[in-house]
Structure 1
């Protein structure tokens, strides 16, 4: 997102005449209640603080380690999901709240999921088709960039082997299209460089590598799509 929610929330809380006291042992319900004025201002009108609290409790039930993260980082990460209208840490795979160590402190990081990105793309009203696929070693795969670009993928039958490539493509309602391809080694290097949680126990890269690789390649493909700046942000 364009604004660092955690830093913005910390500034607002610190600027109040009576600073809000948050402690590591504070229950999530009490934390949300203490921050309710700021949360209410930050959330979409369709999402109440009560609904926000239920999302928080659900996320912690699904990933108990989140309860040990710094309170402000958890609230900020949850706000990111709420502002996008996405459910974090559910089987829907829309978004993830991930605990990770930052200079020895356990913090919570928001990460958009593959299905969440797809949902956001369709919300623009400009996308006809958007999809990503993994290619395996016994598939037939051929691609070519340039003025005579092409993308051909025929999945193998039976045992398809290990992942070799990941690709994503889109087609606009206007008829325009685009695609992006990455081999497995390049995707791993990308994840290692840009994901703070890569390799961690709770990382979606560990739990669902295929979905995260698909999300990453779709994001690259959409850089070439003439869609709204709000969505690109």
Structure 2
């Protein structure tokens, strides 16, 4: 078999082909609004593998782990290989090789909050040393952040903050994190503390990871898609049950004809409990 045939065989049996083979599984777990785009989603993922040799090698080392990561991105309705959802080669000590891990980005966190339908806007910003930033909990509803856009150098990253404006106009809890908070979050990251930290988004896209950390903390105070929709469905079901008129029991018409004794067979049926 020549070099071209080997390349074709490798391509047809590689991670890119695996993604295509599992297209139906990917579509099945996707939110309904994403299912029409599953073809583009698959092609984009295959393109990532062609452009990134390290990612391709990690996917080849453990195709099962690679597919688990992709299914997680699909379930969340996020685009892999973007600032919504990073695909990162990570060193696995037990296996002695790299594998693909998924890291949700700040745009992914924000997307899930918007998709829930409870917020009108989400603000996530970093603060540099030369910016003006003021926020006093209990006094200020929202932070004051002034940036000198003419400054050639805004200095080093100093803080990051996040909050949401709800549909009713109220402001959510304001999350403010400093360098210490970010350092603790980074220390817990497998991709940042592994054998190849230079491949981690903490190294390649530091500002975005500060934003992601703040956005992720905000999700504790702002509904994301799954939990919010679940709560809304329960609420609608409860309201519908309260407003439903009672079922009327109609009297049976009287009959003058004699009724013979009759044995009626029946069974008990357990109703499914509504989750």
TM-score (norm 2): 0.65
Q: Give the strand-richer structure, 1 or 2.
A: 1
Q: Which residue of 1 aligns with 2:185?
A: 190
Q: Secondary structure at the match of 1:31?
A: helix
Structure 1 stretches of at least 4 aligned residues deviating more than 6 Å after TM superposition: none
* Pair 232,210 (structure 1): closer, same or farther in 2 beyond 3 Å: farther
Q: CA deviation at 1:183?
A: 0.9
Q: Give the helix-richer structure, 1 or 2.
A: 2
2:214 equivalent to 1:217: yes
Deviations 1:145-176 (A, max 9, x none): 23665522112351221111111111101122
Deviations 1:56-90 (A, max 9, x none): 31221343212122111111111122222222214
Q: Which residue of 2 aligns with 1:66?
A: 55
Q: Secondary structure at the match of 1:135?
A: strand
Q: Which residue of 1 aligns with 2:15?
A: 28
Greater CA deviation, 42-51 or 73-82? 42-51
2:45–2:81 CA contact under 8 A, matched in 1:
no
> For this pair of structures, how many residues does the alignment match?
207
1:62–1:89 CA contact under 8 A, matched in 2:
no
Q: Secondary structure at the match of 1:206?
A: helix
TM-score (norm 1): 0.76
**Equivalents in 1 of 2:223, 2:76: separation in Å?**
21
**Equivalents in 1 of 2:157, 2:117: separation in Å?**
32
User: What is the root-mean-square deviation in Å for CA atoms of aligned residues?
Assistant: 2.9
* Pair 62,184 (structure 1): closer, same or farther in 2 beyond 3 Å: farther
Within a 5 Å distance, the mapping from 1:38-187 to structure 2 comes to 38-39=25-26, 41-44=28-31, 46=35, 50-51=39-40, 53-69=42-58, 70-90=62-82, 93-103=83-93, 104-146=96-138, 150-156=142-148, 157-158=150-151, 159-177=153-171, 178-187=173-182
Q: Which residue of 2 aligns with 1:206?
A: 203
Rg comparison, structure with higher value: 2
**Equivalents in 2 of 1:86, 1:225: separation in Å?**
19
Residue ranges of structure 2 left out of the alignment (5+ in a row)? 1-9, 231-275
Greater CA deviation, 221-230 or 156-165? 221-230
Q: CA deviation at 1:33?
A: 5.4
**Equivalents in 1 of 2:130, 2:218: separation in Å?**
25
**Equivalents in 2 of 1:166, 1:52: separation in Å?**
31
Q: Secondary structure at the match of 1:97?
A: strand
1:127–1:172 CA contact under 8 A, matched in 2:
yes
